[in-house]
Chain A
Amino acid sequence: MASLIDVRTITKMYRMGDVEVHALRGVSLTINEGEFVAIMGPSGSGKSTLMNILGCLDQPSGGQYLLDGVDVGELSDDELAAIRNQKIGFVFQQYMLLARTTALRNVELPMLYGNGRERHARAKAALEAVGMGERLDHKPNELSGGQQQRVAIARALVNNPRIILADEPTGALDSKTGEEIMGIFQRLNREQGITVILVTHEHDVAQHAARIISVRDGVIATDESVRNRTLVGEGRHVPGELEAATAD
C-alpha cells in the first residue's frame, strides 16, 4: 500500500534579495496512515518549511511530494486550497480563532469552503468530540487557552481530514493543559486513525508521538520510533501497538 505521505528528496530555496536560502536540502520521508509523528528541530532548521510543504501551504522547489498519491508540486493555489480543506486539519500555537465569533461558527469555518451540508450538526459533533459541547456559543475571549485550543482542534477535525498538522499546539499553554491537548491528539489518532503530525521543539511534547523526525540544516538528522512514549489518560504503555504503527 502506498504511503499517505511520500516525500522524495524535496528541496526548498528562497531568494531573499541576492541571497539564496536553502531551507530544505533534499528531504525524503514517508508517513503512513494512522501514524503519530513529531517533527523536531531548532529554529532555522527547515522544520517550519517542511511543515508548510507537508500542509500544502507551500510547494517544494525540487523533488516530489505525493500526498495520498497526488503530486502536490503540480497543483495550482486553488487546488492546494481544496486539498487543505478536505485532507488536512491545522492546529496552530496561537489557536487562530476568529474573534467575536462563537465556537460553533469558528468550527464551521472550513465547511464554508467545501462541503457545507449539515454544517451545524457536524460542527456541534466536532466540538463534542473535544469536550466543548457545552460551550458552543462562547466566543474566544470567553474561553481559556486550553478551551480555545480544543475549539481549534474541533475546527481541524470537522471536515474529517486524513491528517492533522499541529504546529506547536501546546506552546502557549501551561504543561497540565498541554498534557490534556496531547491526550486529545492521541485519542483521535488511536480511535479514529487520523494521522497526526506534530511540530515542536520541546522534547517532552515530542515524547507523546510514536515517531520523532528531527530536522537540522535542511536535512533529516534522525528518524526513529519513540521508546517510553508518554501516553495521556489511559496510563498504560502498549509496546506492540507502537511497533505496529511505526514498523513499515
Chain B
Amino acid sequence: MNLFEAIRVAFVALRTNKLRSLLTMLGIIIGVGAVVGMLAMGTGFQQYLDSQFDELGVGTFYVLPFVDSNKADEVLSAQLTAEDARAIAQATSLPGVEAVVYEYSGNASVVAGQQRFSYALQGVSNNFFAVNNHDLAVGRSFSADESSGGARMAVLGREAATKLFGSVNGAVGQRLTANGVNFEVIGVLATKPGSIGFGPDVAESVFVPYQTAVTRLFRNQVTTKIDVNSVAVKVREPSQIDATIKQVEALLRERHRLTYQNSDFTVINLSTFQQQASAVIAGFNAFLGMVAGISLLVGGIGIMNIMLVSVTERTREIGLRKAVGAKRWDILLQFLVEALVLCLIGCFFGILLGYLLSFAGTLILVGLFQAEGAQASVTLGAIALASAIAAAIGLFFGFFPALQASRLNPIEALRTE
C-alpha cells in the first residue's frame, strides 16, 4: 500500500468516528496550543528585553564610584571624577572607545508655576542623549559650549514635561526652578517611561548640563574624589568590550595610583545582565515548555488508547486485508499513518489555539510583567517544533498499536466477530 492510499484510508477511518477522533485530538490540540502559546510569550518577553538592552546601547559598560571589596586587597575609598572620564575619552591607548558619557544626579525639587515636584535631576555630559539613543520629541539638547559653559538650560523627560507643563509640546521655552536655580526648558525627550535603564527613569528626569549641575546644584555634595555618579563607556565593536574594560581599568588604576588588582571603582557590563536575563527567560521557557509537553504526553497516551481500540474494532478488516495480500508492513503503515494524521490535524488546530493564546500572552506580558509594548509572537520555529513533537508523538504512540495490528493472525482476525 502506498502512502497516499494509507492517508486516504486514515481520513476515512477518522471521519467514520468524528466525535471520537475530535476528543482524541483534543489532547494534542491543547498540548500543542500550550507549547505554541508559551513559546510565543517567552519569545515576546525575550524580544522585549533585547529591544530594551538595545536601547541602552549594545557595547556600553559603566564605571561607578563604588568599591567592590572583592576587588580590593586594602580598604580603599571610592574615587571617580569627570577628569577620569575625559582622560578615558582622550587616551590614545584606548582605540576601542567610541564615546564616554558621564553624569552626576541627585534629587531636586522642581517648580514650574504652581507645580512642584521632586525629580531626579541629572547633570549630563552633552553627548549623553546621542550615545544613549534618547531622541528628542521636541526642541534640542545642549551644545558643547553650553555644556562646558554651565548654561542654565534643561531637557525634560516626557512624564516630567507633561506633569510640569501639561503637555510635551508646551514645555519648550518655559522656565522652571530646580533647587532654587532658574532654567529654561529647551527640549523634551521622546523616551517612553518604564524603559530598562541605568540610573533613574529617563521619562521622570530633568537633565541639565553637567557643569551646571556640579557647580550650581550639587556643589556641596561633590568632592574632589567623586564628582560623577557614573561614567558610561561605549565601545566601537561589542566584541571589544572585554578588552576595553581591562584597558580602562588599567588606566584608572594608573591615574588613581593603585597597584594591579586593586580597584576603587566598579565596572558594570550590562551585556552580562543581558546574558543573565536571557538565561533566566530561557529557563522560564523550558519550564513552561515542559509543562506544556506533559499535556502533549497525556494527549499521546490518548492517541495510543484510541488506536488500540481502533485495532480491536477493525480486527476483521485487518484479517481481510491480510487475506487479500496485505503484508505486515502494509498494516503497520496504515495504522501508523492513521495515528500520525490524527496528531497532525490536532497539531494544526493546536497551532491556531496557540495563536489565540499568544494574544492572552501579550496581555500577561503587558499587565503582569509590566513589559510596555511587548508582544507575544508565534514564530515559525515554534510551529516547526510543535509539529515535530506532534509527529513524534503520533509515531511513538501509534507504533505499538500498529505493530499489534500488523502481527495479527489472518485466520483468527477473520474469525473475530
Contacts and interface: CB of A to CB of B under 8 A. Distances in A.
Nearest to A108: B5
Range for the number of chain B residues in contact with chain A: 20 to 34
Interface stretch (A90-98, A181-189, A208-216, A225-233): A90-98
Contact of A96 (B16, B320, B325, B411): B320
Interface in A103-154: 109-110, 112-114, 116
Interface string B381-417: 0000000000000000000000000000011001000
B87 interface: no
B322 A98 contact: no
A113 B5 CA distance: 10
Contacts of A92: 414
A79 to B, nearest CB: 9
Contact of A109 (B321, B329, B411, B414): B321
B327 A110 contact: no
Interface stretch (A3-11, A29-37, A80-88, A199-207): A80-88
A86 B317 contact: no
Contact of B328 (A78, A114, A116): A78
A92 B16 CA distance: 24
Given A85-B324, A90-B323, A101 B411 contact: no
A71 interface: no
A159 to B, nearest CB: 8
A96 B316 contact: yes
Contacts of B1: 112-113
Contacts of B5: 112
A77 B324 contact: no
Nearest to A165: B323
Contact of A78 (B16, B323, B327, B414): B327
Contacts of B316: 96
Nearest to A159: B325
Nearest to B417: A94
A81 B326 contact: yes
B12 A100 contact: yes
Contact of A113 (B12, B317, B321, B414): B321
Q: Which of B316, B327, B329 has the most CB of A within 10 A?
A: B327
A47 interface: no
A118 B336 CA distance: 27
A98 B318 CA distance: 10
Nearest to A110: B324
A52 B12 contact: no
B15 to A, nearest CB: 9
A155 interface: yes
A96 B414 CA distance: 9
Contacts of A116: 2
Nearest to B316: A96
A113 B328 contact: no
B323 A113 contact: no
Contacts of B411: 52, 57-58
Interface string A159-170: 100000000000
A110 B410 contact: no
Q: Which of A86, A96, A101 has the most CB of B within 10 A?
A: A96
Contacts of A82: 325, 327
Interface string B297-310: 00000000000000
Contact of B12 (A101, A112, A155): A101
B330 interface: yes
Contacts of A81: 322, 325-328
B411 to A, nearest CB: 5
Contacts of A96: 316, 320, 323, 414
Contacts of B317: 98
A59 to B, nearest CB: 11
Contact of A90 (B324, B327, B328, B329): B324
Nearest to B317: A98
A58 B316 CA distance: 17
A207 B159 CA distance: 105
Contacts of B414: 57, 92, 96
B320 A98 contact: yes
Contacts of A90: 323-324
B324 A113 contact: yes
Given A58-B411, A100-B12, A112-B1, A86 B325 contact: yes
A6 to B, nearest CB: 22
Interface in B306-354: 316-317, 320-330
A101 B15 CA distance: 12
B324 A155 contact: yes
A77 B16 contact: no
A57 B411 CA distance: 7
A77 B325 contact: no
A112 B320 CA distance: 13
Contacts of B320: 96, 98, 109
A155 B323 CA distance: 12
A100 B317 CA distance: 12
B17 to A, nearest CB: 11
A116 B403 CA distance: 25
Contacts of B2: 112, 116
25 contacts: A52-B411, A57-B323, A58-B411, A77-B327, A77-B328, A78-B328, A81-B326, A81-B328, A82-B327, A85-B324, A86-B325, A90-B323, A92-B414, A96-B320, A98-B317, A101-B12, A109-B320, A109-B321, A110-B324, A110-B325, A112-B330, A113-B1, A113-B321, A113-B325, A114-B325
Given A84-B323, A109-B321, A159-B325, 13 more contacts: A52-B411, A55-B323, A57-B323, A57-B414, A78-B329, A81-B325, A82-B327, A90-B324, A98-B317, A100-B12, A109-B324, A110-B325, A113-B1
Interface of A: 52, 55, 57-58, 77-78, 81-82, 84-86, 90, 92, 96, 98, 100-101, 109-110, 112-114, 116, 155, 159
Q: Which 3 A-B pairs have the closest CB atoms?
A: A85-B325, A113-B325, A110-B324
